[in-house]
Structure 1
Amino acid sequence: MIGIILAGGQSKRFGTDKATYHLPGYDASNVQLAVTKLLPYCNQVVVSANVKNQSVIRRQLRDHPAVKLVCDVPPYDQHGPLSGLVAVTSWHPEPTDYLLLAVDYPDLQTKSIAQLAAHPAAFVADDQHLHFTLAHFRTDHQTLCNWLRKGGNWRLGTFLIKKCYCQPLHLAAHQELCNLNYRTRKDQQ
C-alpha cells in the first residue's frame, strides 16, 4: 500500500502554509506528523506538494528517505485533492491501494489510521462530517485521468464513492477529526 499525503493546498483560510506549519505544542510540522503516522502502514509514502511549499517540505523531510515528493502536473494542476492524486498516480501508474491523509489532521490518532488501513474502499466519517481526505482506496492513473476527461467532476468524495466504490468507516467524533482550517489564537502565539 502507498500512503498519500495531501500537502499542496493553498491554505487561504489558515493564512499560512498548513503543511509546513509547526503548531505550538507539537514536535513537528503538519507534514512531518502526517508522514510519521503513515509510514508504519505503507511501503512508500508520497507527499503531494505545490510549487510554493515543495522546497520547505523537502527540507523538513530530509530525514525520511522513503518519502517521495511530487507536484501537480498540467493540465490537471490546481484542482484540489484530485490534482494531488493525479500527480501521485502519474509517478506510480499501476493499480494500487492507497491510504490517503491530508495534513489538516494533526491530532489524528494511530489507532484510527490502523482502522482505516484495515478497511479497503473506505473513507472516515463521524456523526457530523464525511472526511474524504482520510481514505483507503484502489485506483490507477488511467482510471483517474479517464474519469476527469470524461466529465467526472473534480470532487474527491464523488470520485471515491462513484469510481472507487468507497463506503463510510464511522469513527467516534473526537478532537482528532477536527480539520485544521483556521489558526486559533493559541496557534498564532
Structure 2
Amino acid sequence: MIGIVLAGGQSKRFGTDKATYQLGSLNASNVQLAVSKLLPFCEQVVVSVNQKNQQAICKQLRAFPRTILVGDLPPFDQHGPLSGLLAVTKHFPGRHDYLMVAVDYPFLRSETIQALARHQQTVITTGDHLHYSLAHFRTDYQTINTWLMDNNWRLGAFLTECCRCQPLSFPQRQEFTNLNYLNKKE
C-alpha cells in the first residue's frame, strides 16, 4: 500500500502553511505527524506539495524513510486534491492501493489509520460528515487523468463514484477536527 499525504493546499483560511505548521500542543509539524502515522502501514509515503512549501517540507522530512515529495502536474496544477493524486499516481505505474490523509487532521490517531488500512475502498465518516481526505482506495494515473479531462474536480465524487468507496463510520471526536483556522492562542 502507498501512503498519500495531501499537503499542497493554499491554506488561505488558515493564514500560514498548514503542512509546515506545528501546533504548540504537539511535538511535530502537521506534515511530520501525517507521514509518521502512515509509515507503519505503507511501503512508501508520497507527500503532495506546492511550490511554496516544497523546500520547507523537504527539510522537515529529511529524517523520514521511504518518503518522497511530488508537485502538481500541468495542466491540472493548483486544482485541489485530485491534482495531487494525479501527480502521485504518475510515479507508480499500474493500479495500487492508496491510503490517504490530509495534513489538516493533526489529532488523527494511529488506531484510526490502522482501521482505515484494513478496509479497502472506504472513506471515513463521522455521523453525517464524510471526510474525503481520509480514505483508502485503489486507482491509477489513467483513471484520474480521464476523470479530470471531463472537468470533474471534486474529490468526494471521484472517491464515491469512480472508486466506489463506502463510508467507514467513526464516532465524532477531536481527532476528526479539521484545522481550517489558526487559533492565535496556540
TM over 0.5: yes
Q: Which runs of 4+ in 1 moved over 6 A?
A: none
Displacement after TM superposition at 1:113 (Å)? 0.6
Which consecutive residues of structure 2, in runs of 5 or more, have no partner in the other structure? Answer: none
Query: For residue 80 of structure 2, what is the aligned residue in structure 1?
Result: 80
Q: What amino acid maps onto 2:105 in structure 1?
A: Y
CA deviation profile, 1:76-117 (whole Å, cap 9, x unmatched): 111100000011011113100000000010000111111100
Secondary structure of the 2:78 match is coil
Secondary structure of the 2:185 match is helix
Query: For residue 153 of structure 1, what is the aligned residue in structure 2?
Result: 152
CA deviation profile, 1:111-139 (whole Å, cap 9, x unmatched): 11111000000000001411000000000
Displacement after TM superposition at 1:65 (Å)? 3.2
Cα distance in 2 for partners of 1:13, 1:141 equals 30
Kindly report the root-mean-square deviation, in angstroms, between the aligned alpha carbons of the 2 structures. Answer: 0.8
- Determine if the alignment matches structure 1 residue 163 to structure 2 residue 162: yes
Displacement after TM superposition at 1:153 (Å)? 1.1
Query: For residue 181 of structure 1, what is the aligned residue in structure 2?
Result: 180
Cα distance in 1 for partners of 2:70, 2:10 equals 16
Cα distance in 1 for partners of 2:32, 2:95 equals 27
Query: For residue 106 of structure 1, what is the aligned residue in structure 2?
Result: 106
Q: Is the 8 A contact 1:47 1:70 kept in 2?
A: yes
Q: Is the 8 A contact 1:72 1:83 kept in 2?
A: yes
Secondary structure of the 1:47 match is strand
Q: Is the 8 A contact 1:100 1:133 kept in 2?
A: yes
Displacement after TM superposition at 1:152 (Å)? 5.0
Q: What amino acid maps onto 1:26 in structure 2?
A: L
- Determine if the alignment matches structure 1 residue 52 to structure 2 residue 52: yes
Please report the TM-score for the alignment, with normalisation by the length of structure 2: 0.98
Cα distance in 1 for partners of 2:115, 2:151 equals 29
Query: For residue 25 of structure 1, what is the aligned residue in structure 2?
Result: 25
Query: For residue 122 of structure 1, what is the aligned residue in structure 2?
Result: 122
Q: What amino acid maps onto 1:166 in structure 2?
A: C
Cα distance in 2 for partners of 1:185, 1:70 equals 31
Q: Is the 8 A contact 1:126 1:170 kept in 2?
A: yes
Secondary structure of the 1:134 match is strand
Please report the TM-score for the alignment, with normalisation by the length of structure 1: 0.96
Which consecutive residues of structure 1, in runs of 5 or more, have no partner in the other structure? Answer: none
Cα distance in 1 for partners of 2:129, 2:137 equals 19
Q: What amino acid maps onto 2:136 in structure 1?
A: H
